[in-house]
């Protein structure tokens, strides 16, 4: 998304400017959260001069001379409400170079890496104190005083057990935490093993961050997706460009990379995947010897599938046609969102209707039509609501 103006120092102002330019729907709930983010921006800005050594600094320094701790912000709410978007605006405007933004799981993986490093040092006799938490916190703080986390969620017991101690140290050092999440703090690590040991972290969080909900009525992601083309025809550069643009909309900036779906003894290559969305050509899935079980494995791993360049299905493409029928059946049965580019409308794809294949293809045609409908989109949403976690 292009952003205007470049550097406003206010999330509220940026939201308003984008709404005025017609790029965003004005949203009261988002503005309320933006105002809270602006409060953190202001606190960060105000804290800066205090850190500079000025001749009169001692006059303003209170107590130990440590800067007053800045209360961060924890934004929770349902999917697609704009939490990530607000965080992006906030992060860009935060007046410090020592800032770090990461997916929470990435951050924790980094923490475990640092803990491991410390343990190796203890083993090699390089450091004495076996407790890894203070040095790990110090090394994180040395790089960033502002920590911004997307999708704060705790599911892993090793994360759960480390968090209270780690953040006690980080907050004591002066770290400011801003996070988005789908769950309220009191529901973090809900039903997790040894949850009692995790509860001090929730108290700690409440003391150091303001907690707010982003409860706009609109799921903007769904709204965007509902307006996307799901069946593009005829084939050609225009169709390719539409599919490309749709891919970017659906994956919403997530990193795209080749992947594979493991199968017994071999794996199905996925030319491009981002989160729970996979992109194939007709040749990838229907011109190779794949069967229903392979398609099922794909449907289990991904929520949305792009299938590009479905050709006219002539008599010479009997096997390919059978696979295509199989593929559409499997994706349909699993309520997978399907984005297709094809040589023709579904009913004109099969050149000749003959025997059982023709009969079966009627079902494919009907399903392809149904898969474009708002009802199917709603079913997809309902079935995949809890599967937003990217595959391992």
Ligand X SMILES: Nc1ncnc2c1ncn2[C@@H]1O[C@H](COP(=O)(O)OP(=O)(O)OP(=O)(O)O)[C@@H](O)[C@H]1O
d(CA 333, CA 188): 33
Question: Considering the complex, what minimum distance in angstroms separates the CB of residue 83 from ligand X?
Answer: 4
Residues contacting ligand X: total by CB under 6 A? 18
Nearest distance, CB of residue 75 and ligand X, angstroms: 8
- Any residues with CB less than 8 A from the CB of 101 and at least 6 apart, and which? 87, 91, 148, 149, 150
Region near ligand X per CB under 6 A, out of 62-70, 78-86, 140-148, 286-294: 78-86
Cβ closer to ligand X: 87 or 313? 87
The residue (of 1 and 392) whose beta carbon lies closer to ligand X is 1
Instruction: Give the residue carrying structure tokens 């900036």.
Output: 253
**Min CB(374)–ligand X separation in Å:** 18
Distance (Å) of CA 47 to CA 99, 137, 252: 14, 21, 34
- Extract the tokens encoding 95: 């007046």
- Closer CB to ligand X, residue 25 or residue 345? 25
In degrees rounded to 5, what are phi and psi of residue 25?
-80, 130
Residue 220 binds to ligand X (criterion: CB under 6 A) = yes
145 lines the binding site for ligand X (CB under 6 A):
no
Q: Can residue 221 be called a binding residue for ligand X (CB under 6 A)?
A: yes
For the four alpha carbons of 235, 236, 242 and 245, in that order, the dihedral sign comes to: positive
Q: What part of residues 101-140 is at the interface with ligand X (CB under 6 A)?
A: none
Beta bridge partners of 147: 100, 177
> Minimum Å distance from CB 184 to ligand X?
13
Two tokens at 391?
């595959």
Q: How far is the CB of 19 from ligand X (least distance, A)?
A: 7
Residues from 312 through 371 that contact ligand X (CB under 6 A): none
The two structure tokens encoding residue 172: 């004591």
- Residue 159's contacts (CB-CB under 8 Å, 6 or more residues apart) are 108
Residue whose CB is less far from ligand X, 94 or 166: 94
Binding mask 8-27 for ligand X (x = CB under 6 A): ----------------xx-x
Report d(CA 157, CA 160) in Å as an integer: 5
Query: Given the complex with ligand X, which of 40 and 75 has the nearer CB atom?
Result: 75
**Interface map 26-55 toward ligand X (x if CB under 6 A):** -x--x-------------------------
Ordered alpha helix ranges (H), the chain? 11-20, 28-51, 57-60, 83-93, 104-123, 133-143, 157-173, 199-208, 220-226, 237-251, 282-286, 292-301, 318-333, 346-349, 355-370, 374-384
Q: Which residue from 8, 10, 83, 346 is in contact with ligand X, where contact means CB under 6 A?
A: 83
Site for ligand X contains 80 (CB under 6 A): yes
Q: Counting contacts by CB under 6 A, is residue 85 touching ligand X?
A: yes
Task: Decide: is 81 part of the binding site for ligand X (CB under 6 A).
Answer: yes
CB-based closest residue to ligand X: 220
Question: What's phi and psi for 146, nearest 5 deg?
Answer: -115, 120
* Shortest separation between residue 62's beta carbon and ligand X, angstroms: 37
**Of the two residues 214 and 261, which places its CB atom closer to ligand X in the complex?**
214
Task: Report which DSSP code applies to 237.
Answer: H
Alpha helices in 56-194 (DSSP H): 57-60, 83-93, 104-123, 133-143, 157-173
> Is 182 near ligand X (CB under 6 A)?
yes
Q: How far is the CB of 254 from ligand X (least distance, A)?
A: 10
Q: Which C-beta is closer to ligand X: that of 25 or that of 373?
A: 25
List residues binding ligand X (CB under 6 A): 1, 24-25, 27, 30, 79-85, 180, 182, 220-221, 224, 252
């Amino acid at each position: 998304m292009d952003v205007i103006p470049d550097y406003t120092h206010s999330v509220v102002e940026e939201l308003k400017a984008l709404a005025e330019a017609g790029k965003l729907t004005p949203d009261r709930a988002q503005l309320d959260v933006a105002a809270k983010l602006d409060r953190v921006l202001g606190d960060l800005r105000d804290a800066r001069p205090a850190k500079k050594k000025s001749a009169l600094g001692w006059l303003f320094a209170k107590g130990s001379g440590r800067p007053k701790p800045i209360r961060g912000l924890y934004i929770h709410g349902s999917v697609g409400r704009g939490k990530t978007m607000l965080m992006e605006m906030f992060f860009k405007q935060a007046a410090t170079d020592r800032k770090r933004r990461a997916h929470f799981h990435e951050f924790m993986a980094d923490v475990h890496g640092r803990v491991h490093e410390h343990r190796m040092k203890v083993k090699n006799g390089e450091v004495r104190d076996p407790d890894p938490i203070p040095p790990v916190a110090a090394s994180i703080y040395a790089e960033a005083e502002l920590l911004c986390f997307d999708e704060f969620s705790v599911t892993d017991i090793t994360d759960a057990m480390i968090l209270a101690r780690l953040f006690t140290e980080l907050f004591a050092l002066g770290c400011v935490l801003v996070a988005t999440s789908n769950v309220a703090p009191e529901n973090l690590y809900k039903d997790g093993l040894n949850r009692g040991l995790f509860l001090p972290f929730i108290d700690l969080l409440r003391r150091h961050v303001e907690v707010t909900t982003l409860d706009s009525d609109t799921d903007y992601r769904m709204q965007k997706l509902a307006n996307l083309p799901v069946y593009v025809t005829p084939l050609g550069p225009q169709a390719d460009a539409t599919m490309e643009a749709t891919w970017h909309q659906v994956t919403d900036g997530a990193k795209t990379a080749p992947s594979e779906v493991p199968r017994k003894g071999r794996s199905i290559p996925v030319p491009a995947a981002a989160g729970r969305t996979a992109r194939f050509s007709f040749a990838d899935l229907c011109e190779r010897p794949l069967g229903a079980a392979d398609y099922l494995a794909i449907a289990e791993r991904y929520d949305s599938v792009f299938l590009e360049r479905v050709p006219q299905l002539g008599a010479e493409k009997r096997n390919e046609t059978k696979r295509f029928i199989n593929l559409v059946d499997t994706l349909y049965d699993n309520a997978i969102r399907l984005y297709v580019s094809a040589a023709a409308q579904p009913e004109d794809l099969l050149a000749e209707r003959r025997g059982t294949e023709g009969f079966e293809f009627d079902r494919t045609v009907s399903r392809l039509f149904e898969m474009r409908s708002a009802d199917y989109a709603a079913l997809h949403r309902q079935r995949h609501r809890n599967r937003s976690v990217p595959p391992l």
